[in-house]
A and B are shown apart, each in its own frame.
Chain A
């Protein structure tokens, strides 16, 4: 058991609470104490929900004490990314346009957590509408990386990853459209997982790229990731892309065993642009797994450099459509001065959205416009099919793919937004996983010479979360 409650993992705190050795209130006290201490500097949260959290804690405590409620996360404090709707609790998507939006319903993933007894501390900062890789496009200020506050926490789920890394919560939920769980987990030295597309309901997740978005856990270790993913996964009629999976008992994969596992390392992930220290740490992780009995070999995945242009075409096209609903009529911000209805839409959106969001809406609108649809959007969907096929071929030979999560460790604050294209290139190892609907997990694999965490990414075939969890768990136990 860790010295302080807020430093504990979800599973171990859940056990302490179930055994009556720690109360739900004490768990909250400990997290809010750390929030008080570090939040001014870190800015991981947009909204804190202290009063409601304590009210809920009383109720949950009663249910746990009476034996009515038992789950690995019962009474455990959680932070939720601010693009998941929470009934009665402000949900902004880190955008001015939703700055005062209070949802009338709760997203299914959060509802699943609440049913299991988790207590929401607050809503975490993110890139506006999840568009960005640094959490610097938020309308509510930047989040700083708790491991080195001169650096970004990554993005777009930067607030969730920072809150976990700073022990300002026990665990968090993030969302991942192109790497937005895995990359910030890597930069902050915590564990993050994007499950197979369709595993966690998207109902109540404010849409960015609907065919790519997935919710997943950000936690302090692999055991927590498995436990939380098990709780939030569900078939949901309210999400037409939700899958009816029977194999979501992810904690049963927590075994130390990689003997005979076939691990492929894409040699094209180790080309130009990859920091040598990151490359060395990732190769060392592969060697460690080999020493534990895995069969490791290199192969050419191919098409790696086409993933980014395909992704930004598809994601931005979907975003331009999804974000049309923000028009200043039904909810959110409305411009004060306008000439007529059409001008109201335009002025509201121009004042309400930030630069990166506008840039993506414009590109998305363009690639969907008549005359360009075939050349850009349809072409990208065909390339997506080719990328998926390349993964299918890889998974006919390997049980999982191992590589870095990002080309570098966390960049300094203020250095990324001036050149958007350069920032997009940082997503090279994560976005093909979304395009192909695959599960991916990121976990720490050492630090660079500046002391910054390096992230190891494991990619599995669809529905093979169990292999990822087993491998990640084995590696974590070997190295911690």
Chain B
């Protein structure tokens, strides 16, 4: 395997992904990630010097619109999906003391 994923890297990936991994999962993730990167490294065989990266296939045109409200008040239905609500708002754990 050409790519070796260090403990620090998988720790960092866990932070970026907002995922909690136990030791066993970390080892598996290191292996999976290294295997995929070995495979993706195949792209390096292609000379892409001077090639423009293509995000969208159709010409990019910004879709501007006026910022006006077009929908009704759905707050009750929306809040009914919230795991926890308080005083007509999403409830989250305390973020500072």
Contact = CB atoms under 8 A, between A and B. Distances in A.
B2 interface: no
B92 A344 contact: yes
B36 A312 contact: yes
A243 interface: yes
Contact of B56 (A102, A211, A308, A369): A211
A380 B43 CA distance: 7
Contacts, number: 156
A350 B16 contact: no
Interface residues of A, number: 66
The range of chain B's interface size is: 35 or more
A369 B36 contact: no
Contact of B83 (A211, A313, A332): A332
B82 to A, nearest CB: 6
A421 B45 CA distance: 19
Contacts of A331: 81-83
A420 B32 CA distance: 9
Given A240-B63, A329-B92, A331-B81, A385 B54 contact: yes
Nearest to A197: B57
B42 A305 contact: yes
A361 interface: yes
Interface in A325-354: 327-334, 338, 340-341, 343-347, 349-350, 353
B52 interface: yes
Contact of B82 (A303, A306, A330, A385): A330
B57 A388 contact: yes
Interface of A: 100-102, 104-105, 197-198, 211, 237, 240-241, 243, 303, 305-306, 308-310, 312-313, 320, 324, 327-334, 338, 340-341, 343-347, 349-350, 353, 358-359, 361-363, 365-367, 369, 376, 378-386, 388, 420-421, 436-437, 462
Interface of B: 9, 12-14, 16-21, 29, 32-33, 35-37, 39-46, 48, 51-58, 62-63, 65, 71, 74, 77-78, 80-84, 90, 92-95
